[in-house]
Structure 1
């Protein structure tokens, strides 16, 4: 959706929320209702007209712009350039992961040996990268989806393969709330996407539960990491035995 179309859609939503019809708006602006309808249908209105509509809505252009931004769909994947910037700095990567987990500024500073100035610097860089929108008092809004998908062969996944995968799978997976299951089989190729969607829902459920449990005291929570993957694959030590 273009910026203009998004603004028109926001104005329509604000009019509806305020209980105002096109006829009501026409009376306030001293215009014909047909002109109002035509203006919204074509999406063609000068800034002065937008300011007048904002006045009727008891708001201003800055607030409308914020609402347009809030209504935009969140990114589900970053560019290669954005990912390279994130993994180039270990502390920036850590703060990025904390932001994706919706940690507060205070949680980050109290949990890791990154001082306030360093954390602010990282948040400001994430804002410039378009990953968050940094607000007053070091608060922020995510500009990416909570279930952001790192590029399959991008900089972040390469970093994790090199530095994280071995550490993750070296555990016994025998602790409280842990499990490791390896299932191999052959299924109809058309069913693979169905399983992928179900696995994605599990990841989404976990992400939503994480957000819901943010209010719990620290002593009632433990950090967990789910790794979800599915691929057409045969273990390398068996490949030479394949007929």
Structure 2
């Protein structure tokens, strides 16, 4: 069950991010500014009013409700067929990632990668056949709903990109850290098993919090968002691999 307070707080957060005022919403609804504030502070909100507000904020009401009611992280994996296809055609995976995961506009991808219409339609057709998108009549593209996904697959593609992306991120973060553009921390700890378990829990909670924020903020204007890579890791053992006799 969704609490009205959570819903109102989320709508206010969206208004703040989009720099939309109560006055602007009031004009859209044909109400006074004080009337809108009263609605936003009420314990209940009619579905029709909610639809009017979300329409003005240019957000999907289904996505909005999902973000609030289902904070779970979904385990994501590709089928063996999709894994093999992307291994064979890595450029298709790049296209999928930019379009579906990063939500890059299709025309921006086509222009940046200098794709002609035939090449563009080829990848759209392939993704449609793999049920990764829905390519509808009139060249309308329906993307899957945004979800908080943690990739757990262990196919050839996933293994490859997880190792490669982690390696690239560590290198990039090390360089960018000198300018303050990234966070790079390498630490050694000597702690109890109990403290190690608490560390793992803290990392999981940090991951969940910012996955939730990411899912919420993707319902806002793309102009407000930046791409951020995150690599959370810890493991038992010494940095020095030379064994002691």
Q: State the TM-score, normalized to the length of structure 1.
A: 0.55
> Counterparts of 2:119 and 2:142 in 1: how far apart (Å)?
19
- Report matched runs for 1:70-149 at 5 Å: 76-98=76-98, 99-143=100-144, 145-149=146-150
Measured after TM superposition, the shift of residue 97 of structure 1 is: 0.5
> Counterparts of 1:75 and 1:119 in 2: how far apart (Å)?
29
Q: Deviations over 1:79-127 (max 9, x none)?
A: 2332232232122111111121112221211222332221221122112
CA contact (8 A) 1:131 1:144 kept: no
Structure 2 unmatched ranges of 5 or more: 1-46, 49-61
CA, structure 1 residues 184+205, in 2 after alignment: closer, same or farther (shift >3 Å)? Answer: farther
- Report matched runs for 1:231-242 at 5 Å: 231-235=234-238, 237-238=240-241, 240-241=243-244
- Report matched runs for 1:200-215 at 5 Å: 200-214=208-222
CA, structure 1 residues 240+213, in 2 after alignment: closer, same or farther (shift >3 Å)? Answer: farther
SS of residue in 2 equivalent to 1:153 = coil
CA, structure 1 residues 237+115, in 2 after alignment: closer, same or farther (shift >3 Å)? Answer: farther
Measured after TM superposition, the shift of residue 201 of structure 1 is: 2.4
Higher relative contact order (CA 8 A, sep 6+): 2
CA contact (8 A) 1:135 1:141 kept: yes
Structure 1 unmatched ranges of 5 or more: 1-16, 19-66
> Counterparts of 1:105 and 1:83 in 2: how far apart (Å)?
23
Greater C-alpha Rg? 1
CA, structure 1 residues 120+195, in 2 after alignment: closer, same or farther (shift >3 Å)? Answer: same
CA contact (8 A) 2:76 2:152 kept: no
CA contact (8 A) 1:134 1:141 kept: yes
CA, structure 1 residues 75+194, in 2 after alignment: closer, same or farther (shift >3 Å)? Answer: closer
- Report matched runs for 1:33-48 at 5 Å: none
Alignment-derived partner of residue 224 in structure 1: 227
SS of residue in 2 equivalent to 1:83 = helix
SS of residue in 1 equivalent to 2:142 = strand
CA contact (8 A) 1:127 1:134 kept: yes
Alignment-derived partner of residue 204 in structure 2: 196
Q: State the TM-score, normalized to the length of structure 2.
A: 0.54
Deviation above 6 Å: which 4+ runs of structure 1?
none
The count of aligned residue pairs is 169
Alignment-derived partner of residue 14 in structure 1: none
Measured after TM superposition, the shift of residue 144 of structure 1 is: 6.2
CA, structure 1 residues 141+104, in 2 after alignment: closer, same or farther (shift >3 Å)? Answer: same
CA RMSD between the two structures: 3.6
